[in-house]
Amino acid sequence: MAERTQKQKPTTGRTEETVTDGAPVAPQGEKLKAELDDLLDEIDEVLETNAEDFVKNYVQKGGE
């Protein structure tokens, strides 16, 4: 997998130690999944009723 080959860094000096330290933070994986499921359950109430019109009418002038 590409993810594995990416472990070959183009530069030297990144030690094993930092690789270990870089392990993902205690993932809120389960919590996130539950939150996403809850959101998808209720999304019909939250979503704009006519997605087509909502998207079409969102027109901005360029800024900056």
Residues that bind other proteins (CB under 8 A): 2-3, 6-7, 9-11, 13-14, 18-19, 21-25, 27-29, 31-33, 35-37, 39-40, 43, 46-48, 51-52, 54-64
**C-alpha span between 5 and 23 (Å, rounded):** 17
Q: Which amino acid is at 61?
A: K
From first CA to last CA, the distance across the chain in angstroms is 41
Assess contact for 48 and 54: CB atoms under 8 A: yes
Output the smallest distance, CB 33 to other proteins, in A.
8
Closest to other proteins by CB, 2 or 16: 2
Output the smallest distance, CB 44 to other proteins, in A.
9
